[in-house]
Amino acid sequence: MVPGEPIVLASVDGITVNARITGQVAAMVTAAGAGGVRLTGGGYRSPAAQIETRRANCGSSYYAIYEMPPSACRPPTARPGSSQHEVGLAIDFANCQSRGSACYRWLAANASKFSFYNLPSEPWHWSTTGR
């Protein structure tokens, strides 16, 4: 990603992501389905939506939204401008709320084959960088 470069979005089975990764997301969704796991969730999040997510998870003060460490939020939430969701390179999978879920177990065993990595503090959050 080049700073200031427009983000082109695309949808893969209802998950909006950066168009640059649609092939790997489509292949991962297909492979998971063949393995009996349906992957659903949310990918791209606008900067305004990231601010709202911080407000909901961290508090409404300027400090809470823009400065507080992500780890102080419940659940941990990236500061606006630093989330992989804002560039369409992360997906929060709806059915991966715990490490015991079939979704998480499948992703833990297979996601790296599609260049997706887990953020260890959030079983549902997978991205191209692991952040």
Report which DSSP code applies to 88: T
How confident is the model over 78-97, as a mean pLDDT? 95
pLDDT digits (tens, 9 = 90+) for 52-83: 999 999 999 999 999 999 999 998 999 999 99
- Per the prediction, the chain carries an average pLDDT of 95
Query: Do 116 and 63 fall within a single domain?
Result: no
Domain count, the chain: 2
Instruction: Evaluate if residue 1 carries a pLDDT over 60.
Output: no
- The yes-or-no verdict on residue 6 having pLDDT over 70 is yes
Q: What is the residue range of 102's domain? A: 1-45+87-131
Average pLDDT over residues 27-40: 97
Q: State whether 39 and 92 are in the same domain.
A: yes
| Dist CA 8 CA 105 (whole Å) | 30
What is the Cα–Cα distance from 61 to 7, expressed in whole angstroms?
Answer: 29
> Hey, how many other C-beta atoms are within 10 angstroms of the C-beta on 46?
11
35 plus 94 within the same structural domain: yes
**Whether residue 29 is found in the same domain as residue 12:** yes
- Regarding whether 106 and 56 lie in a shared domain, the answer is no
Give the pLDDT of residue 3. Answer: 63
